[in-house]
Amino acid sequence: MDRLSTDLGGPAFTDYGARLRRRWKVVVAGLLLGLALGALLLTLQHKQYTSTTSVLVNPTGSAGVTLAGGRTTTEVNLDTESQLVESAQVAGAARSLLRTDESVVALLDRVVVTVPPNSQVLAIAYTAGTAKGAQEGSHAFAQAYLTNRAAEAKSATDLTVAGLQTQLKAAQEQLRSATDRASSFVDGSPDQVLAEAQRNVIVSQINDLTSRLAPLQTAAPAPGQIITDAPLPQKPSAPLPALDLGGGAVLGLLLGLGLAMLLDSRDRRLREPRDVARHVGLPVLADVPAARPGVPSAAQSSVFDRLRNQVVGFDSVARPLQVADPSGRGASGTVALELAQSLARVHRTATLVLAHPQSVLTETVGGADRPGLVEVLRGEASLDEVRYQAPDLPGLIVVPPGRNPAELDTLLQSPHLASVLGSLRDSSPAVVVETLGTGDSAAAQAVAAHSQSVLLVVERGRTQAQAVSDSAEAATRMGAEVAGVVLVPALGRRAGASGTSGTSPGAGPAGASPAAPSSSAVPSSVGLSPGVPSSGGRSGSAPIEGAQADGTGARPASSGWLADDVTVDQPTPR
């Protein structure tokens, strides 16, 4: 498959916690970035102070005051009055009181007027760069509003007084005319009675006008009063550290979470069995635990025994078992060795063929600088001359890669491969072949054509899903059955750092022989903790006929599967 197919299912809810744990550095970085931006905004903002003056607004008319729904229902409309406070006329008067050069528009930007429920009060808030400026500004706007409202009330009163005086003067003229007219008639006559009635009506109108005019002429208008003058602010109203830092932290956290989920959704490295099932669709036959230094790891041996039972059971293997390494980092070596040892415990003997050009087992099982598979495929040596009994691993026969492993990529594709594998099968009840991934290596595909089953080794947090998919499809096309996936811990730095299929972990240029292990070291069984014996125990077997004796008696070196060495966050190309 050229591209990885879509997920078999959406991520489970529990996956999100694992994703965030893997990307916790991104989340923390986002949080710190948000806090830094909040702190920067906090330092860039100028301090602002706010002071508020409360003004009681009195009606200038004579109607009584009632309350309904939290707003007054009188001739005083407080919503209109709040707009009047924010008018250019009042702002201009406040500007004169403040004796400032700021424009009217700038002053109005500093004013906020609110109306508390169930009251006849206007709360006039003014914001300035200093506490004194905020106090003076609030008081100035309140005073300007009251002065303006008083002037408006006086103007309205003057108009009312002028109108009433005009009406009173006209009524007085009518009264004089009615009086003269009534005196011209004979007492008791109908005309005289009618004239007296008209005169009395006029007198009543004059009395009413006089009663209305008197209070308007004697009382000064009371538009309202300041009930709470603007106090001097004790602390800034802005910026608010809790708001800026808290808002920055929330935004940064959201950014970090989003980026972490985005990065993880684009990352197709396999880490858990559910990742393999979702992205590749293959069963996980074994999930090998990481060993701790100095702690016996019998659990690993048990895992490989169960793996053996799932793949071949207790019967002899009709065709070789291929252990492929899709990532090319050498993780297949330990699986191949442990599986071969498990088969040897059942069948008394098993053969391990190192067909991986950069196998980490070359030194582990004493195969460095020996003739091997390369020489057999060239026709320069026979199988009996190259295979040997692995030191300290009873029943395990090893066919090393040869003195020039780089030639394996070409020689494994030769017609001689089938006869070589057939001879190995005839002489051994179980044959395990370690190779590169079948997706990229034509040599590994050639081995797959002669294999009973193919096991794909996935290095946790390192192997890409696409590499496993490609290897599985290539093996299937070659007629081999892909048994499943073995999930192993990430190799430590000792096992390899290149991460490419063309470079040997910890080795030199292609074709160069690896350095011999130190004779002073006390290596441990592959895949197990240092100092822990292999499940096979010590062997007294000699090399098989024609094989070269190792004579060191050393036990295989560790593969680097130690929990302290595991690193899973660095992407590795296939």
State the pLDDT at residue 374: 92
**Band of residue 447 on the pLDDT scale cut at 50, 70, 90:** very high
For residue 12, count CB atoms less than 10 angstroms from its CB and return exposed for 0-12, middle for 13-18, buried for 19 or more.
Answer: exposed
Could you tell me how many residues make up the chain? 574
Residue 399 pairs with which residues in a beta bridge? 353
State the pLDDT at residue 386: 92
Containing 78, the helix (H) or strand (E) segment is: helix 78-85
Contact indicator for 85, 124 with CB cutoff of 8 Å: yes
Which range of 112-116, 117-121, 214-218, 285-289 scores highest in mean pLDDT? It is 112-116
State the pLDDT at residue 13: 58
SS3 350: strand
**Band of residue 14 on the pLDDT scale cut at 50, 70, 90:** low
The mean predicted confidence, pLDDT, of the chain is 78
**pLDDT greater than 90 at residue 553:** no
**pLDDT greater than 80 at residue 490:** yes
Give first-to-last CA distance, the chain, whole Å.
15
**pLDDT greater than 80 at residue 512:** no
State the pLDDT at residue 187: 81
Query: Alpha helix locations (H) across 434-542?
Result: 442-448, 465-477
**pLDDT greater than 70 at residue 529:** no
Chain segment 247-269, per-residue pLDDT in tens: 999 999 999 888 888 877 777 78
Chain segment 182-191, per-residue pLDDT in tens: 888 878 788 8
Q: Which amino acid is at 106?
A: A
**Which range, of 145-149, 392-396, 489-493, averages the lowest pLDDT?**
489-493
State the pLDDT at residue 96: 94
Three-state secondary structure readout of 168-205? HHHHHHHHHHHHHHHHCCCCCCHHHHHHHHHHHHHHHH
Q: At what angle do helices 190-218 and 131-183 cross, to 10 degrees?
A: 160
CA–CA separation, 430 and 318 (whole Å) = 8
State the pLDDT at residue 506: 34
State the pLDDT at residue 2: 37
State the pLDDT at residue 314: 55
- Residue 23's contacts (CB-CB under 8 Å, 6 or more residues apart) are 260, 261, 263, 264
C-alpha neighbours within 13 Å on the C-beta side of residue 113:
20
Sign of the dihedral defined by the CA atoms of residues 160, 163, 165, 167, in that order: negative
CA–CA separation, 408 and 374 (whole Å) = 6
State the pLDDT at residue 212: 85
**Band of residue 454 on the pLDDT scale cut at 50, 70, 90:** very high
**pLDDT greater than 60 at residue 3:** no
Chain segment 350-378, per-residue pLDDT in tens: 999 999 988 888 888 888 888 999 999 99
State the pLDDT at residue 323: 93
Contact indicator for 445, 473 with CB cutoff of 8 Å: no
Burial readout 395-417 (b: 16 or more C-beta within 10 A, e: otherwise): bbbbbbbbebbbbbbebbbeeeb
**pLDDT greater than 50 at residue 497:** no
Which range of 139-153, 318-332, 512-526 scores highest in mean pLDDT? It is 139-153
**pLDDT greater than 70 at residue 562:** no
Average pLDDT over residues 451-456: 90
Residue 345 pairs with which residues in a beta bridge? none
Domains with residue ranges and CATH for the chain:
13-45+240-266 (no CATH), 49-228 (3.30.1890), 273-359+393-400+426-493+521-533+555-563 (3.40.50.300)
SS3 276: helix
Chain segment 183-238, per-residue pLDDT in tens: 888 787 888 888 888 888 988 988 888 888 887 777 677 888 999 999 999 999 88
- What Cα–Cα distance (Å) separates residue 265 from each residue in 22, 259, 270, 275? 12, 10, 12, 12
**Band of residue 505 on the pLDDT scale cut at 50, 70, 90:** very low
State the pLDDT at residue 72: 40
Q: Which amino acid is at 540?
A: G
Identify which of 27, 536, 555, 538 has the alpha carbon closest to the alpha carbon of residue 263.
27
CA–CA separation, 434 and 436 (whole Å) = 7
- pTM of the predicted structure, to 2 decimals: 0.55
Contact indicator for 534, 304 with CB cutoff of 8 Å: no
**pLDDT greater than 50 at residue 528:** no
Identify which of 355, 357, 354 has the alpha carbon closest to the alpha carbon of residue 365.
354
CA–CA separation, 372 and 541 (whole Å) = 20
**pLDDT greater than 70 at residue 526:** no
CA–CA separation, 312 and 290 (whole Å) = 25
CB atoms within 10 A of CB 296: 14
CA–CA separation, 474 and 561 (whole Å) = 28
